[in-house]
Amino acid sequence: MTTVDTNPGTDTRKAGRFVYISAVVLLCAWVIVPLYFLLINTLSSPDTVNSFPKAFVPEFDLGSLSFFASFAGMLTALKNSVLVAGMTMIMSIVVGAPAGYALSRFDFRGKELFRLLILLTRAFPLPLLALPLAVMFIRTGLDDTVFGLALVHTTLAIPFAVLITFSLFSGIPLELEEAAWTLGCTRLTAFTKVVLPLILPGITASAIFAFVISWNEVFAAAVLTIENRTLTAFLLQNLDTSPLHLKFAGGFILVVPALIFIFAVRKYLFAMWGIANR
C-alpha cells in the first residue's frame, strides 16, 4: 500500500474491500480461464491445436466448427436433446416437488426408508441399469422415443428435485403457512399463494439440474435412442476417439447450449433476495 491513511478504520475497510474484490475476480478467472482455453482450441486450425507452445489468443479458424455444421443430423439431434431435457425438467419437478414438501412438513412412517430410496437412485451407476431398462422399453414400445429417454433422465434428476425442494421447504417456517390458513386459505391456496413464490428459486435450481443432467447424459441416450438420437449420444459418444481439433470443437458445441439455458433462467434462480427480505 502506497497511500498512508491516518485512520486505521478506513484502512482496514479498504484492505478488506480490496481482498473481497480480488477474491471475486480470482474466482471468476478460475471458472472462465479453462473455458477460454477450450474456446482457443475450438477456434484454431488442426496444426495450431497440436503446436507447442500454445497460443493464448484464438486465431478464429472456423474449420473445426464448420465440420460439425455440415454434419448430417445435427439439428435433429439438437431438437431431440432439447425435447428430452425439457420433458425431464417438467416431469422431475411435477413428480419430485410434492415429495420434497411431504418430507419437510410431515412425519410419517417409512419416511427414512423413502429418503434412502431417493438417494439410492443416485448412488447406483446407470450403465448397469441400462440393460434391464432397455429390455423393458423394447417390450413396451417406449424404446427409441424421446419420451422414454426423458423417463430415464427424470429418474436421474428426481433425487435433486426432491432433496432441493425438501431443503427449501424446510427453510420456510410452518408458521407462515399456518398464518395463511387462519386467514382463510386452504392448504392448497396457502401453498400456491405463500409457499410457492418463496421456493421459486429452488424450483429453478432443480430445473437447472434436471436440464443439465439430461443434456449431458450419454449412456442411456446411446442405448435407448436410435432414430431419435440426442446430441450427446450423436456427438459426444465418439469424441474421445476423434482427432484433437474436433474433440475440442465438439466439446464446445455441447457446452454452449447448456450455458445459454442457465443464462436464460438465472434471474429466477437469483431473484430470491427480494423475497427473503420479507
> Looking only at residues 164 through 223 of this chain, which bind another protein when binding is defined by CB under 8 A?
164, 166-168, 170-174, 187, 198, 201-202, 205, 208-209, 212, 215-216, 218-219, 222-223
Burial of residue 97 (CB within 10 Å: 0-12, 13-18, 19+) is buried
When the beta carbons of 11 and 38 are compared against another protein, the nearer one is: 38
Q: At its nearest, how many Å lie between another protein and the CB of residue 212?
A: 5
- Number of residues this chain uses to bind another protein (CB under 8 A): 146
When the beta carbons of 22 and 183 are compared against another protein, the nearer one is: 22
Q: For residue 107, which amino acid is it?
A: D
Q: Binding of another protein at residue 4 (CB under 8 A)? A: no
Q: Binding marks (x or -) toward another protein, 42..71, rule CB under 8 A?
A: ----xx--xxxxx-x----------xx--x
User: By CB under 8 A, what part of segment 96-125 binds another protein?
Assistant: 96, 98-99, 101-108, 111, 114-125
List % helix, strand, coil for the chain (3-state, nearest 5).
80, 0, 20
CB 225 within 8 A of CB 147: no
User: By CB under 8 A, what part of segment 135-164 binds another protein?
Assistant: 135-139, 141-148, 151-152, 154-155, 158-160, 162-164
247-259 burial, b at 16+ Cβ within 10 Å, e below that, comes to: bbbbbbbbbebbe
Q: At its nearest, how many Å lie between another protein and the CB of residue 86?
A: 10
User: By CB under 8 A, what part of segment 5-44 binds another protein?
Assistant: 20, 23-24, 27-28, 30-32, 34-35, 37-38, 41
Q: At its nearest, how many Å lie between another protein and the CB of residue 67?
A: 7
Radius of gyration over every alpha carbon of the chain, rounded to an integer in angstroms: 24
Identify the residue among 82, 89, 91, 190 touching another protein (CB under 8 A). 91
CB 146 within 8 A of CB 228: yes
Q: Considering only 3-11, 177-185, 246-254, which stretch makes contact with another protein by CB under 8 A?
A: 246-254
Q: C-alpha grid cell for residue 76?
A: 435433429
Nearest of 243, 267, 258 to residue 41 by alpha carbon:
243
Nearest of 44, 35, 75 to residue 62 by alpha carbon:
44
Place of cell 426408508: 113
